[in-house]
Amino acid sequence: MAGRLIIISNRIPTNEHLSGGLVVALHDALACTDAVWIGAHPDPGDNIEELEELIGSKYQKFAFRLTEEEIQNYYLGYANSVIWPLCHRRGDLVDMRSEYQSAYLKVNARIARLVATQLEPDDIIWAHDYHFLPLAAGMRELGVKNRIGFFLHIPFPALGDLSVLSKPETFAADLAQFDLIGLQTRSDVARCLEMFRADPRAEFLPDGSVKFNDRVTSVRSFPIGIDTAGFASEACHAGLPVFGRETPEEYIIGVDRLDYSKGLPNRFRAFSKYLETRPLGRKPCLVQIAPPTRQQVRAYQDITRELEEIAGHVNGTFAELDWTPVRYIHRSVPRARLARLYRQAKACLVTSLADGMNLVAKEYIAAQNPDDPGVLILSRFAGVAEDMTEALLINPYDIEDIAKAIAIAMDMPLSERKERHAASLRIVEATDVSTWSKNFLRVLKERPISVDFSRYF
Ligand code: GDG
């Protein structure tokens, strides 16, 4: 009998109100597979040694509990105050504490145990993201021989930056316990291979895979995508007007979790710069949806305050009685409304300083009317820019560069908008979320089971 697919991710959808790239991507992809999804329960609890089944879904779902302290030290601490800033080139925001690291290892060891008890010999395991770097290592210690794949949704760190970790050498050793390491882009793969190349314990095999001690692992890029057709149809869906009576004449859209990696302050400053030089009489808006995230972490409190200050400043400087230039919404907006907001926007601003892929860019392109599309202004530092080269590419550190791109986008002739959009749409279609998960799982299943080389030499 074919084995099941066991997905492990930090977040698990508990209802249909989804936000966050990973949850959206997996929910769309796995609704019709024989899959079991295991993730953290949204509420803390002390019953940590058991998995709880969550009912009411097309696939089996189990949740593990984290205690309040583990949420603090494992999730907000090591995962989001060490690994996240490290991978997003923000070494200055890394908050290294021994209790964070020990909680991270302890939680991973426990989840390895909990998952191991569920396993049947033919099951394959797919672990997601930076919360679970040592998960395969923990499972191998328990004797698990099943195939285990890993997908990192965020950028792979540069070799030199790994030195901020107290034991940088464990990063490579832990990853090498997975059979397949999936990354978003070719540049991520290059950085990962550079790490293995610099490690005396690693050896490259003729097929490009990496032999590390007695295991073999492959490193490949699988650019994540969206449910393109589904999103496009949601965007066309007629319904109540998105804005009601306050419909702006023309607007630019931004949609991001309020994270310092998304370059929001520079985006607002660039919009302000554009307003200084805009043609007379023009009253464009920047509609920014930025739901809160990780608000207990200091760096997120700081960026929230900074953004509110800039939004207030821009509005104070430019607003008129009948015009509010920045409409900043610090809440989550329903997905269907988001899709229609994208479709009516003249442009979309993605200004990430570092970003694994960026699904918003793909959603914006999918939502456009091909006969009169808007313009995607896209950071060179978002993974999506590696392939989507027909977007208006910008340097998010350069406010003038972003402001110029806004001016170009606002007046771009229809023929150029159509050409750029068609080229970008081809990329979105070619990397659809179901292609992404199918490709990853195909390669994971194809991989020869890791050979114990010590037997042969
Ligand atoms: C990580 C990586 C990678 C946002 N606000 C609302 C809302 N969203 C949805 C968007 C989009 C998703 O959340 C955000 O995805 P991104 O890819 O832009 O960014 P991250 O959350 O940082 O995701 C990223 C991704 O994982 C997948 O691998 O691309 O690089 O950082 O789908 O639409 N959805 C709704 N209301 C909101 O207010 N409904």
Cα 282 to the center of its chain, rounded Å:
35
Which of ligand 1's atoms lies nearest the C-alpha of 155? Answer: 30
In this structure, the residue with its CA closest to atom 34 of ligand 1 is 19
Q: Within a domain: residue 317?
A: yes
For residue 22, what pLDDT is reported? 60
Q: Within a domain: residue 455?
A: no
Q: Which residues sit with their C-beta closer than 6 Å to ligand 1?
A: 19-22, 24-25, 153-154, 224, 255, 257, 289, 291, 332-335, 338, 355-360, 363
For residue 454, what pLDDT is reported? 44
Contact by Cβ (8 Å): 212, 202: yes
Query: How far away, in angstroms, is 56 Cα from ligand 1 center?
Result: 24
% of the chain with per-residue pLDDT over 90:
83
Is 153 annotated in the active site? yes
Q: Within a domain: residue 457?
A: no
Q: Within a domain: residue 27?
A: yes
Torsion angles phi and psi, residue 34, rounded to 5: -80, 85
Is 28 annotated in the active site? no
Which of ligand 1's atoms lies nearest the C-alpha of 329? Answer: 38
Asked whether residue 277 falls in the same domain as residue 183, the answer is no
Which of ligand 1's atoms lies nearest the C-alpha of 334? Answer: 39
In this structure, the residue with its CA closest to atom 23 of ligand 1 is 21
Which of ligand 1's atoms lies nearest the C-alpha of 360? Answer: 18
Query: How far away, in angstroms, is 132 Cα from ligand 1 center?
Result: 19
Query: How far away, in angstroms, is 11 Cα from ligand 1 center?
Result: 13
For residue 3, what pLDDT is reported? 85
ipTM of the complex: 0.99
Query: How far away, in angstroms, is 122 Cα from ligand 1 center?
Result: 32
**Residue tagged active-site, from 131, 153, 188, 199:** 153
**Strand ranges of the sheet holding 285-289, from the earlier edge strand across to the other edge:** 326-329, 285-289, 251-255, 347-350, 375-379, 392-394
**Residue tagged active-site, from 28, 161, 227, 355:** 355
Buried-state track 359-391, b at ≥16 Cβ within 10 A, e below 16: bbbbbbbbbbeeeebbbbbbbebbbbbbbbebb
Query: How far away, in angstroms, is 365 Cα from ligand 1 center?
Result: 15
Asked whether residue 218 falls in the same domain as residue 295, the answer is no
In this structure, the residue with its CA closest to atom 39 of ligand 1 is 335
For residue 31, what pLDDT is reported? 63
Asked whether residue 187 falls in the same domain as residue 320, the answer is no
Tell me the sheet residues that pair with 274: none
CATH of the domain at 173: 3.40.50.2000
> Which residue range is the domain that position 300 belongs to?
228-431
In this structure, the residue with its CA closest to atom 1 of ligand 1 is 21
Asked whether residue 89 falls in the same domain as residue 151, the answer is yes
Mapped onto helix, strand or coil, the DSSP state of residue 448 is: coil
Report the domain count for the chain. 2
For residue 247, what pLDDT is reported? 84
Q: Which residues of the chain have pLDDT under 70?
A: 1, 15-33, 447-457
Asked whether residue 282 falls in the same domain as residue 337, the answer is yes
Asked whether residue 344 falls in the same domain as residue 283, the answer is yes
Asked whether residue 172 falls in the same domain as residue 319, the answer is no
Asked whether residue 316 falls in the same domain as residue 348, the answer is yes
At residue 402's C-alpha, the angle toward residues 398 and 403, to 5°, is 115
Query: How far away, in angstroms, is 160 Cα from ligand 1 center?
Result: 28
Query: How far away, in angstroms, is 173 Cα from ligand 1 center?
Result: 30
In this structure, the residue with its CA closest to atom 8 of ligand 1 is 19
Tell me the C-alpha to C-alpha distance, in Å, between residue 457 and each of 202, 214, 450, 451, 454: 16, 11, 15, 12, 6
Q: Within a domain: residue 67?
A: yes
Asked whether residue 387 falls in the same domain as residue 401, the answer is yes
Q: Within a domain: residue 411?
A: yes
Contact by Cβ (8 Å): 86, 63: no
Asked whether residue 215 falls in the same domain as residue 244, the answer is no
Asked whether residue 210 falls in the same domain as residue 342, the answer is no
In this structure, the residue with its CA closest to atom 30 of ligand 1 is 356
| 431: its two tokens | 């990397």
For residue 243, what pLDDT is reported? 83
State how beta strands 124-128 and 392-394 pair.
unpaired
Asked whether residue 158 falls in the same domain as residue 236, the answer is no
Which of ligand 1's atoms lies nearest the C-alpha of 19? Answer: 34
Q: What is the pTM of this model?
A: 0.95
Q: Within a domain: residue 11?
A: yes
